[in-house]
């Protein structure tokens, strides 16, 4: 279940094994430039279903599309030149950008909102996995509240998302993981890619780019305003 990786020299065999796992509907835990993430292949409906059940979240703003480069955003979201320049300026890095989805994206992912969070992490492991897999990862921050066997009894946080406050609360530091070994507490994971280093217990800054001006929905590791 645990595969140890060298961040600066990731074994191609482990990357290939990760891609097979994800393509088969598996769930993967991996480090990022913020905290630990749980991810599935964007092309796997089975994996997306597992990830949502494990997380207990219904609000899509808690989920993020992890991409290897900005060109992948354009396959799913709408961007004009102003938004493109801001994203390019802040990427890769600890920022999630909420963008309007293209026609068909919401249906393909089963989204209740016509918007999606996307980001390019500044960490070699997720970037290498995405490139090997050949498509983005659908992900969520790993939290201790998810540490329930198989995710079957994960707390249901299905709040009404139609009339909620636009801002998202910060994630308490004590709810985030440090070491890869701790992720064994989360049932339902198929693989953990562990670089053997403790992760910072920090979270990303979420910027809403669906309006006329960029708005911070949550301030985290990425400074804002800039």
CATH code: domain of residue 85 = 3.90.870.10
What local confidence, expressed as pLDDT, does residue 85 receive?
96
Cross-strand pairs, 63: 140
Do the domain assignments include residue 225?
Answer: no
Does residue 82 lie in a domain region? yes
Q: Which two tokens stand for residue 129?
A: 């996995």
Selection from 203, 2, 22 nearest residue 128 by Cα: 22
The total number of structural domains that make up the chain: 1
Write down the pLDDT at residue 153.
45
How many other CB atoms sit within 10 Å of the CB of residue 126? 27
173 Cβ contact partners less than 8 Å away, ≥ 6 residues apart: 201, 202
Residue 224 placed within a domain = no
Q: 226 lies in a domain?
A: no
Sign of the dihedral defined by the CA atoms of residues 200, 203, 205, 206, in that order: positive
User: Which stretches of the chain drop beneath a pLDDT of 50?
Assistant: 149-153, 158-163
Instruction: Answer yes or no: is 59 within a domain.
Output: yes
Put residue 188 in one of left, alpha, beta given phi > 0 → left and psi -120 to 50 → alpha: left
Cα gap 103→76, rounded to integer Å:
8
Instruction: Select from 32, 63, 34 the least CA-distant residue to 49.
Output: 63
DSSP state of 199: P
Instruction: Provide the domain limits for residue 48.
Output: 2-218
Q: What is the pLDDT of residue 148?
A: 60
Q: Is 158 a domain residue? A: yes
Sheet holding 215-218, edge to edge: 2-4, 191-194, 28-30, 37-41, 137-141, 63-66, 115-119, 95-100, 205-208, 215-218
Closest CA to 144 of 178, 105, 110: 178
> Which neighbouring-strand residues pair with 96?
206
Greatest alpha-carbon span in the chain: 47
Does 223 fall in a domain?
no
Does some domain include residue 79?
yes
The predicted structure's pLDDT at residue 163: 40
Rounded to two decimals, the pTM is 0.90
């Amino acid at each position: 279940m645990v595969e140890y990786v060298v961040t600066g020299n990731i074994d191609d065999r482990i990357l290939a094994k990760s891609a097979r796992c994800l393509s088969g509907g598996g769930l993967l835990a991996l480090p990022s430039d913020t905290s630990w993430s749980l991810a599935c292949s964007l092309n796997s409906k089975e994996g997306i279903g597992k990830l949502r059940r494990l997380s207990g979240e219904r609000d899509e703003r808690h989920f993020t599309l992890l991409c290897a480069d900005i060109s992948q955003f354009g396959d799913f979201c709408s961007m004009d030149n102003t938004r493109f320049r801001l994203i390019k300026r802040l990427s890769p890095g600890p920022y999630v950008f909420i963008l309007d989805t293209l026609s068909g994206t919401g249906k393909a992912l089963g989204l209740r909102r016509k918007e999606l969070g996307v980001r390019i992490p500044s960490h070699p492991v997720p970037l290498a996995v995405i490139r090997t897999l050949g498509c983005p990862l659908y992900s969520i921050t790993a939290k201790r509240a998810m540490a329930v066997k198989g995710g079957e009894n994960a707390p249901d946080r299905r709040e009404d998302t139609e009339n909620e406050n636009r801002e998202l609360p910060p994630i308490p530091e004590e709810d985030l993981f440090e070491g890869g070994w701790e992720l064994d507490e989360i049932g339902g994971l198929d693989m953990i890619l562990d670089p053997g280093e403790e992760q910072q217990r920090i979270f990303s800054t979420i910027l809403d780019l669906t309006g006329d001006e960029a708005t911070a929905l949550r301030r985290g590791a990425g400074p804002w305003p800039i």
